[in-house]
């Protein structure tokens, strides 16, 4: 049995948490490899709902969980999350959680910058989660980030803070933000250091050991391919690579170790924040899908924009991320709709496109070409076998499979852990 990498194949919020939780049951190690506390994965176990933001979803099952070097970590948010889930009965100890020594930190000054820029951008705002993710990745790439390993080296930490502030003070002045002092940043970091350092280690070694012991690893992606900084709807994207290829670089394993790539795909499309969305429905059907699907962000509570299934977009995600198979989620949300539409191409002026172009103005100008397909009146909610699905729902799933060019491995029909129809076991490839 091999490893599995799970990624979102639309604009996020595809229901990755539930699928990851389901797969984590059979994994030995669960790894986050990008993003930060902009992510929100919800898992329902019996009557308990866990909301994970930075913690790998494997902690719900006591699996060894790794926050890889590719993640940017807000340590205060992490400590809050640990306290919250411990309050729900999960034990988060250094035996269960490893934090990459090379992971860059998200500091309060990153959140300040994120908020100030968004506030000034007016209509051009990205609609970020406001967690400071973009500014933190900028500092990482700019080689001035504070990393977990720095917290254990107080002498070097002071110099690093000076270097970081030499960059931030002029930015803050330009945005009318108050100056921050090196002493203040140092004392904040000194306060949290003893609380996080017990978890910090060279996490690539943890994964190397796991590989040598023949353990099964689940790589847990956050956000989604259309929010990837290279492959998404730039600049309306997040600041990390979200494609499956990042699982290797963001955790410190070779590219072959990432195994079967499972793309999570919702049976319709949603997007939160600004940016192009060709299949968006601004009518009562969009409203109905949003209500039935409870389409409100787990991180910011924002209402998600809803639309028909866009097969062009997902086919593109399948290609750029090397998706082997797909988990189709929230099929039950479409129960009771008389007719469904699937986007099979775009019109751009007098051209017909079978892909989403890279330029923002083209992305905003494309209009969807729809194929209509019959809906179903029966209930698919909580179906656990292919036989439980009405014929029209089976036809819808099969048509999606054909259009996106990847097998449907799983179908989920409720937020409940066990309501999954498995056609193919991702761990068996
Ligand atoms: P940032 O990641 O906070 O910088 O936000 C950039 C864009 O990514 C915004 O459109 C956010 O709404 C979107 N985004 C970030 N994280 C998520 C997520 O976990 N689900 C859905 N959208 C997200």
Ligand 1 centroid from CA 286, angstroms: 20
* C-beta atoms surrounding 371 within 10 Å: 14
* Residue 28 known to be catalytic: no
Burial of 320 (0-12, 13-18, 19+ CB in 10 A): middle
Among the listed residues 21, 41, 101, 419, the single catalytic one is 41
- Pairwise CA distance, residues 406 & 360, whole Å: 27
Mean pLDDT per 10-residue interval, the chain, length 429 residues: 94 92 93 96 85 93 96 98 96 97 98 97 92 98 98 94 98 97 97 97 97 97 97 97 98 96 98 95 96 86 94 98 97 96 98 97 97 96 92 97 97 87 91
Pocket lining: 63 vs ligand 1, CB cutoff 6 Å: no
Atom of ligand 1 nearest to the CA of 240: 2
Residue 40: its pLDDT value, please?
Answer: 87
State pTM to two decimals. Answer: 0.96
Residue 300: its pLDDT value, please?
Answer: 75
Q: Is the bond into 24 cis (omega within 30 degrees of 0)?
A: no
CATH annotation of 4-100+199-258: 3.40.440.10
* Architecture of domain 265-428 in this structure: Alpha-Beta Complex (3.90)
Contact 304, 271 (CB under 8 A): yes
- Pairwise CA distance, residues 24 & 18, whole Å: 10
Q: How remote is the C-alpha of 134 from its chain's centroid? A: 15
Ligand 1 centroid from CA 109, angstroms: 19
Mutation to probe ligand 1, out of 238, 270, 295, 296 (largest number of atoms < 8 A from CB): 238
Pocket lining: 223 vs ligand 1, CB cutoff 6 Å: yes
Phi, psi angle pair for 233, to nearest 5°? -85, 65
* Residue 13 known to be catalytic: yes
Ligand 1 centroid from CA 40, angstroms: 10
Alpha carbon nearest to ligand 1 atom 16, residue:
38
Ligand 1 centroid from CA 69, angstroms: 19
Identical fold at 4-100+199-258 and 104-196?
no
Closest CA to 366 of 374, 357, 375: 357
Please name the helix (run of DSSP H) or strand (run of DSSP E) that holds residue 220, with its range, or none: strand 217-220
Buried residues in 202-227 as b, exposed as e (16+ CB within 10 A): ebbebbeebbeeeebbbbbbbbbbbb
Concatenated DSSP letters for 236-272? SS-SS--STTHHHHTTT--GGGG-EEEEEEESSEEE-
Helix axes 108-121, 133-141, angle to 10 degrees: 110
Mutation to probe ligand 1, out of 128, 266, 305 (largest number of atoms < 8 A from CB): 128
Residue 176: its pLDDT value, please?
Answer: 96
- Pairwise CA distance, residues 388 & 415, whole Å: 17
Ligand 1 centroid from CA 297, angstroms: 10
Pocket lining: 40 vs ligand 1, CB cutoff 6 Å: yes
Residue 127: its pLDDT value, please?
Answer: 92
* Architecture of domain 104-196 in this structure: Orthogonal Bundle (1.10)
Q: Where are the domains of the chain?
A: 4-100+199-258, 104-196, 265-428
Atom of ligand 1 nearest to the CA of 38: 16
Mutation to probe ligand 1, out of 10, 11, 12 (largest number of atoms < 8 A from CB): 12
Burial of 276 (0-12, 13-18, 19+ CB in 10 A): middle
Strand-pairing partners, residue 310, are: 343
- Pairwise CA distance, residues 12 & 264, whole Å: 9
Pocket lining: 13 vs ligand 1, CB cutoff 6 Å: yes
Alpha carbon nearest to ligand 1 atom 19, residue:
39
């Amino acid at each position: 049995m091999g490893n599995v990498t799970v990624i979102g194949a639309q604009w996020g919020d595809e229901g990755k948490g539930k699928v990851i939780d389901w797969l984590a049951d059979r994994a030995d190690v669960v790894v986050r490899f990008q993003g930060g506390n902009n992510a929100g994965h919800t898992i329902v176990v019996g009557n308990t709902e866990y909301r994970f933001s930075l913690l790998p979803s494997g902690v719900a099952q006591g699996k060894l969980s790794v926050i890889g070097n590719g993640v940017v970590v807000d340590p205060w948010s992490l400590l809050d999350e640990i306290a919250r889930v411990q309050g729900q009965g999960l034990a988060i100890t250094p035996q269960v959680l490893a934090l990459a020594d090379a992971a860059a930190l998200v500091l309060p000054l990153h959140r300040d910058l994120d908020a100030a820029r968004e506030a000034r951008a007016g209509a051009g705002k990205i609609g970020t989660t406001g967690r400071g993710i973009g500014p933190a990745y900028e500092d990482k790439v700019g080689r001035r980030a504070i990393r977990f390993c720095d917290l254990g080296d107080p002498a070097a930490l002071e110099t690093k803070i000076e270097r970081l502030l030499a960059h931030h003070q002029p930015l803050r002045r330009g945005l009318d933000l108050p100056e921050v002092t090196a002493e203040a940043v140092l004392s904040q970091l000194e306060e949290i250091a003893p609380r996080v350092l017990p978890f910090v280690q060279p996490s690539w070694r943890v994964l190397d050991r796991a590989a040598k012991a023949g353990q099964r690893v689940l790589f847990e992606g956050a956000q989604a391919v259309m929010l990837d900084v290279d492959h998404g709807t730039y600049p309306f994207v997040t600041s990390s690579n979200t494609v499956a290829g990042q699982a290797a670089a963001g955790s410190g394993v070779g590219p072959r170790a990432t195994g079967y790539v499972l793309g999570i795909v919702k049976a319709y499309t949603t997007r939160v924040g600004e940016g192009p969305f060709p299949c968006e429905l601004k009518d009562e059907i969009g409203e109905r899908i949003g209500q039935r699907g409870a389409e409100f962000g787990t991180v910011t509570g924002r209402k998600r924009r809803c639309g028909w299934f866009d097969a062009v977009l997902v086919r593109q995600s399948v290609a750029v991320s090397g998706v082997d198979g797909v988990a189709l989620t929230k099929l039950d949300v479409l129960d009771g709709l008389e007719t469904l539409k699937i986007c099979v191409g775009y019109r751009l002026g007098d051209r017909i496109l079978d892909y989403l172009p890279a330029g923002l103005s083209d992305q905003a100008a494309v209009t969807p070409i729809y194929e209509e397909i019959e809906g179903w009146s029966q209930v698919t909610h909580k179906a656990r076998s292919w036989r439980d699905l009405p014929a029209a729902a089976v036809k819808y799933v099969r048509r999606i499979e054909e259009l996106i060019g990847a097998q449907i491995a799983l179908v989920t029909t409720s937020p409940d852990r066990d309501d999954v129809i498995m056609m193919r076991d991702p761990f068996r490839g």
